[in-house]
Amino acid sequence: MEVIERALKEKRKSLTEYESKQVLKKYGIPVTREFLVKDAESAVARAEKLGYPVALKGSGPELLHKTEMDIIRLNLKNSKEVKQAFKEIKANAGEKLKGVLVQEMVKGQRELVIGLVRDPQFGPCVMFGLGGIYTEILKDVCFRVAPITEEDAFQMMEEIKGKKILEGFRGMSPADKKTIAQALTGLGKLGMENNLVKEVDVNPLILTKEGKPVAVDALVILGE
């Protein structure tokens, strides 16, 4: 894959969020609508195309820990806020900044995690579980060795302790399990077809009020 080959040529160990999502999209994983821009005027133009509110995130191969670097701005409601956010991100990221991601704000209170790990013994394994801040606290995840079928994916959704999150409650629709299953089988395929992908982390995969899954953040880590 071109984006992976380019990153390896540049001696990089990972893809940027924007690049990672381009890869995921090719494997049927729903991702946020977003644009990569170089200046504040373009950021405003893209934000208006997406519709407010939007999020802005600093982008660059060396900018992996965005929260710690303070290069994420959420819920920006107008052009003035976008310009200010762009200015702050540019100042905080410094020379490592290669662009700014203008992203739709995905509303949803339910967060999942999906991913891929390459086990030395079993090869690529697909992961599914509770996401967001709960990933590390609850460790409610399950794994399957790739390739996986749609049936495997549905079983994974039944295996986590917090599976009730996938049901409809408090005015939220049940999760679109078919699309989640498609994302999980897609990750398995990605792992099988790209030996140089060592790990994929999609966290969070947010469920909208309507139950649609959307990958809001993603990281692809490359191996030898």
The string of pLDDT tens digits covering residues 156-193 is 999 999 999 999 888 899 999 999 999 999 999 999 99
pTM: 0.94
Half-sphere exposure of residue 134, counting CA atoms within 13 Å on the CB side?
19
For residue 175, the 8-state DSSP code is: P
The string of pLDDT tens digits covering residues 8-52 is 999 999 999 999 999 999 999 999 999 999 999 999 999 999 999
- To the nearest 10°, report the CA torsion of 76, 80, 83, 89: -50
- What domains lie within the chain, and their CATH numbers? 2-30+108-222 (3.30.470.20), 34-104 (3.30.1490.20)
CB atoms within 10 A of CB 35: 19
CB neighbour class for 57 (10 Å; exposed up to 12, middle 13-18, buried from 19): buried
Average pLDDT of every residue of the chain: 96
